[in-house]
Amino acid sequence: MQRVPYLSSRLQGFGTTIFAEMSALAEKTKAINLGQGFPDTDGPLAIREQAATAALNGPNQYPPVNGAADLRVAISEHQKRFWGLTIDPNREVVVTTGATEAIAAALVGLCEQGDEVIVFDPTYDSYAAGISLAGARPRPVVLRPTGDNEFVFDEAELRQAFGPRTRLILLNTPHNPTGKVFSAAELALIAELCIEHDVLAVVDEVYEHLVFEGSHRSLAKLPGMFDRTLTISSVGKSFSLTGWKVGWATGPAALVTAVRTAKQFLTFATGAPFQPATASALRLDDDYFDSFVADMRERRDLLCEGLESAGFDVFWPDGTYFVTANIAQFGYVDGIEFCLALPERAGVVAVPSQVFYQNQTDGDYFVRFCFAKQPAVLEEAISRLQAAFP
């Protein structure tokens, strides 16, 4: 890896995020962008109108560091309504600039130099950088595919990962990029180990409303876990508003205070006119959430079947809006090479999952496609892939 002049040693090696690189490639080649995860249709009009009205009439000045009071109430209502968690809106919520800031602020706010953070590989790209910024070290546990095309971890490997330097486990469920939804038994094991080793948990639940099989469960709800768990989410994925960058962390006051303390010196506060509209989004009725997931399930089925018809070996996701496919049968041994060739070969952009692994060779054969696109766009991408891989 080439050294970047002037860049601090904590960020050497992190380069440019793959999502920006692949979106730039899609723009340059005019390919269909199934790389970076964002929907091609904006979220509810009434919610966007509320944000526009707020930009005209206010609030437009600094909101409170921990977020507008009514948004904090809406977040606590949401946590109760969907996951049965009782959250004090005054002490147990902090609003952040996207889930990204919540994750970074949690790492910086909770880790000491040299601490270890357990992550499941493949790992969302901001985790490793956030861990490094915090002066900590990642301790990866690899999710490996089974014969049934499910991604699972080895219990012994997870047990071994917990040690005297472990500060926290950073978990993502539903999981990007694999689409795995951690099961009740897996979460129970994680909880047991956190309690046994007195380790904190930070759980990124940005895909909480995108579960197609089974159900999403919050680790914080498990016995003995609330007091050691921070739960993170954001408006982006659940409401198709990824550019708003409003996120939040909920949990016991001590952990939320650590996030807020870091957050106040990173951004101080988060976009004022978006906060009342985000509160309304969280209060949308069940019809919104039901039709959102039903709609996305249809797109999942469409893209997964289409990829299979083009000859890909597909890992059907239980959640998120991503699908992983294996490219080995096309004679490729390197997902990066495959993804760089794909725009020219097929007019489609995908993301090489390699970049999500601490040990890249674990992900050599996997690429990720995003299906949060209009059915006609997915159909066009499928017919291009079928033509490119006859």
Q: Judged by CB under 6 A, which stretch of 163-171, 237-245, 250-258, 351-359 contacts ligand PMP?
A: 237-245
Q: Which does 36 bind (CB under 5 to 8 A by kind): ligand GLN, ligand PMP, none?
A: ligand GLN
Q: Judged by CB under 6 A, which stretch of 133-141, 240-248, 252-260, 275-283 contacts ligand PMP?
A: 240-248
Residue 19 in contact with ligand GLN, rule: CB under 6 A: yes
Residue 234 in contact with ligand PMP, rule: CB under 6 A: yes
Residue 247 in contact with ligand PMP, rule: CB under 6 A: yes
- Return the DSSP state at 145: E
Distance in Å, CB of 236 to ligand PMP, minimum: 4
Binding mask 100-129 for ligand PMP (x = CB under 6 A): x-----------------------x-----
> Checking DSSP bridges between strand 247-250 and strand 229-234, what pairing results, if any?
antiparallel
Binding mask 135-174 for ligand PMP (x = CB under 6 A): -------------------------------------x--
Residue with smaller CB distance to ligand PMP, 98 or 347:
98
Compute the CA torsion angle 19, 42, 55, 77 (nearest 10 deg). Answer: -90
How far is it, in rounded angstroms, from Cα 276 to Cα 24? 33
Angle at which helices 375-388 and 335-346 cross, to 10°:
100
Residue with smaller CB distance to ligand GLN, 24 or 55:
24
How far is it, in rounded angstroms, from Cα 88 to Cα 255? 13
| Binding to ligand GLN in span 25-84, by CB under 6 A | 36-37
Using DSSP's 3-state secondary structure scheme, residue 85 falls into coil
Q: Which does 278 bind (CB under 5 to 8 A by kind): ligand PMP, ligand GLN, none?
A: none
Q: Which does 17 bind (CB under 5 to 8 A by kind): ligand PMP, ligand GLN, none?
A: ligand GLN
Distance in Å, CB of 176 to ligand GLN, minimum: 5
For 102, phi then psi, to 5°, come to: -60, -40
Of 76, 173, 176, 324, which one interacts with ligand PMP (CB under 6 A)?
176
Question: Which residues are registered as beta bridge partners of 152?
Answer: 144
Residue 208 in contact with ligand PMP, rule: CB under 6 A: no
Distance in Å, CB of 26 to ligand GLN, minimum: 12
* DSSP letters spanning 167-226: EEEEEESSPTTT-----HHHHHHHHHHHHHHT-EEEEE-TTTT-B-SS----GGGSTTTG
Continuous H helices in the chain: 18-29, 45-57, 69-83, 98-110, 125-133, 155-161, 184-197, 235-238, 253-266, 274-282, 286-309, 335-346, 375-388
Residue 43 in contact with ligand PMP, rule: CB under 6 A: no
How far is it, in rounded angstroms, from Cα 272 to Cα 70? 12
Give whole-number Cα distances, 161 to 113, 156, 165, 197, in Å. 18, 9, 10, 11
Binding site residues, ligand GLN, CB under 6 A:
17, 19, 36-37, 176
Positions in the binding site for ligand PMP (CB under 6 A): 37, 98-100, 124, 172, 176, 204, 206, 234, 236-237, 242, 245, 247
